[in-house]
Amino acid sequence: MAKSKSSKKSKQLCDALAKQVFEDSLWWSYERVGSDELINLSSALSKALGREVSSLKDIMGKYATSQLKLKIDDAIENYRDNRAEQDLRFVASFETVHGKRSYQNQMRVFEISDKLIVWSSCVDVTEMVELEREMVDAQGRLTLAQVIERQKFLEDQNRVIKDSYARQSRFLAWISHELRSPLLGISSLVKRLKKLVGDSVEASAMLRTINMTAEQSTYLVNDILTFSQTEYDSIKLHPTKVELSELLENVKQLTKSIANDKGLNLSMVQLTEHDSVYVDSVRLTQILINLIINGIKFTQYGGVNLEVKEVKPNIYLFRVSDSGEGIARARLEEIFEPFAQVDSLESSQIQRRSPGAGLGLFVVKQLVELMGGKIDVSSLKNVGTQFRFELNLESAVQSNLADKSSQSLETGNVGFSYDDEGSFAESNDNSKLVVLVADDSEINRMVIIGYLEDFDCEVVEAKDGMIAWEKLQEQQFDYVLLDIQMPIMDGIEVARNLHDAFQNGAQPNLKGVFAITAGGEVDGFETDSDVLVSGVFDQWLVKPVNKSQICDLLNTDYRNKPQPTNSLGSEPQEHFQSRSEKMTARSDLDNNIFAPTVTDIPSQFQKLIPAYISEMQQCLEQANDMISIDDNAALSKLAHYMKGNAMLFQLNGVVELCKQLELAQVVSNSHKARPQDSEKIVEKIHLAIKSLEKSMSIGHNTDY
> DSSP string of 162-213?
HHHHHHHHHHHHHHHHHHHHHHHHHHHHHHHHHHHHTT-HHHHHHHHHHHHH
Residue 48 and residue 186 in one domain: no
Lowest mean pLDDT among 276-285, 377-386, 421-430, 491-500: 421-430
Question: What is the average pLDDT across 568-586?
Answer: 34
Answer whether 514's CB lies under 8 Å from 471's CB: no
Q: Is the pLDDT of residue 435 over 90?
A: yes
Last residue of a domain, one of 337, 370, 395: 395
Question: What contacts 24+ positions apart, CB below 8 Å, involve 333-337?
Answer: 335/361, 335/377, 336/361, 336/362, 336/364, 336/365, 336/375, 337/362
Domain presence at residue 217: no
Listed ranges 419-423, 575-579, 620-624; the one with the highest mean pLDDT? 620-624
Cα(419)–Cα(425) distance, integer angstroms: 10
Query: Do residues 378 and 259 both lie within one domain?
Result: yes
426 confidence band (pLDDT: 50, 70, 90)? very low
574 pLDDT more than 70: no
Is the residue at 219 inside a domain? no
Terminal CA-CA length for the chain: 158
- What is the model's pLDDT at position 203? 80
Given this model, what pLDDT does residue 140 score?
Answer: 76
Convert the pLDDT of each residue in 352-393 to its tens digit: 334 444 566 887 888 899 889 999 999 988 888 999 999 999
Residues 192/450, Cβ–Cβ less than 8 Å? yes
Range of the domain at 182: 131-211
- pLDDT given for residue 418 in this prediction: 43
Indicate whether 674 and 657 sit together in one domain: yes
What pLDDT does 561 receive?
Answer: 56
Report pLDDT digits (tens) over 655-678. 888 888 888 876 544 445 567 788
Q: Which of 141-150, 201-210, 382-391, 522-531 has the lowest mean pLDDT?
A: 522-531
CA torsion 49-55-58-64 (nearest 10°) is 130
Least confident segment among 91-105, 158-172, 174-188: 174-188
User: Sorting pLDDT into bands at 50, 70 and 90, what band is 309?
Assistant: very high
Q: Per mean pLDDT, which range of 456-460, 580-584, 661-665 is the poorest?
A: 580-584
Residue 257 sits in the same domain as residue 384: yes
Looking at the fold, whether 619 and 647 belong to one and the same domain comes out as yes
- Which one-letter amino acid corresponds to residue 223? D
Q: What is the pLDDT of residue 348?
A: 38
* pLDDT, position 202: 77
pLDDT of residue 651: 81
Which pLDDT does position 3 carry in this prediction? 56
Is residue 142 a part of any domain in this protein? yes
What pLDDT sits at residue 86?
Answer: 67
Question: What is the rounded CA–CA span in Å between residue 657 and residue 619?
Answer: 14
> How high is the pLDDT of residue 385?
92
The model's confidence at residue 225, banded by pLDDT at 50, 70 and 90, is low
pLDDT of residue 533: 41
Residue 579 lies in a domain: no
45 pLDDT above the threshold of 80? yes
How far is Cα 196 from Cα 367, in angstroms, rounded to an integer? Answer: 40
Mean pLDDT of 54-77: 88
Q: Which CATH number covers residue 241?
A: 3.30.565.10
Same domain, 625 and 525: no
For residues 113-134, average pLDDT: 89
Amino acid type, 670: S
Question: Is position 384 within any domain?
Answer: yes
pLDDT band at 224 (very low <50, low <70, confident <90, very high): low
Q: What is the CATH number of the domain that holds 470?
A: 3.40.50.2300
Q: What value does the mean pLDDT take over residues 334-357?
A: 50
Residue 187 contacts residue 215 (beta carbons within 8 Å): yes
Q: Of 74-88, 431-445, 622-636, give the lowest mean pLDDT range.
A: 74-88
Of 395, 410, 425, the position where a domain reaches its end is 395
Would 226 be classed as within a structural domain?
Answer: no
Residues 200 and 254 in one domain: no
- Mean pLDDT calculated for residue range 58-64: 90
pLDDT value at position 4?
Answer: 61
Q: Are residues 250 and 387 in the same domain?
A: yes
What's the confidence (pLDDT) of residue 437? 94
Q: Are residues 343 and 257 in the same domain?
A: yes
Residue 343 sits in the same domain as residue 384: yes
As a whole number, the mean pLDDT across the chain is 75
Q: Number of structural domains, the chain?
A: 5
Q: Is 59 exposed, middle or buried (0-12, 13-18, 19+ CB in 10 A)?
A: buried
277, 393 Cβ separation under 8 angstroms: yes
The pLDDT of residue 562: 47
DSSP 314: T
CB 60 within 8 A of CB 92: yes
Residue 154: half-sphere exposure toward Cβ, Cα within 13 Å: 6
In this predicted model, which residue has the larger pLDDT, 351 or 52? 52
Query: What pLDDT does 486 receive?
Result: 82
Burial degree of 392 (CB within 10 A; 0-12, 13-18, 19+): middle
Mean of pLDDT values over 385-406: 68
pLDDT band at 81 (very low <50, low <70, confident <90, very high): confident
Residues 6+ apart with CB under 8 A from 518: 176, 177, 180, 181, 485, 542, 543
Q: Is the pLDDT of residue 94 over 70?
A: yes
Report the C-alpha dihedral over residues 691, 693, 697, 700, rounded to 10 degrees: 70
Q: Is the pLDDT of residue 1 over 70?
A: no
Give the residue from 657, 653, 673 showing the smallest Cα distance to 665.
673
- Position 345 scores a pLDDT of 43
| Cis ω before 544 (30° cut-off from 0) | yes
**Can you tell me the mean pLDDT for 78-94?**
82
Residue 355 placed within a domain: yes
DSSP string, 588-633: S--S------GGGS-GGGGGGHHHHHHHHHHHHHHHHHHHHTT-HH
CATH number at residue 657: 1.20.120
CATH number of the domain to which 42 belongs = 3.30.450.20
Calculate helix-pair angle for 609-628, 632-648, nearest 10 degrees.
160
End-of-domain residue from the set 124, 143, 166? 124
pLDDT of residue 704: 42
pLDDT at 116 over 80: yes
CA of residue 438 relative to chain centroid, distance: 30
Asked whether the beta carbons of 620 and 654 are under 8 A apart, the reply is: no
Inside any domain, residue 228: no
374 and 260 in a common domain: yes
The pLDDT of residue 298 is above 70: yes
Look at residue 531 and tell me whether its pLDDT is greater than 50: no
pTM of the predicted structure, to 2 decimals = 0.38
Shared domain for 391 and 244, answered yes or no, is yes
Residue type at 10? S
Between these two residues, 454 and 584, which has the higher pLDDT value?
454
> How large is the average pLDDT for residues 231-256?
78
Q: How confident is the model at residue 180 (pLDDT cuts 50, 70, 90)?
A: low
Residue range 591-602: mean pLDDT, rounded: 71
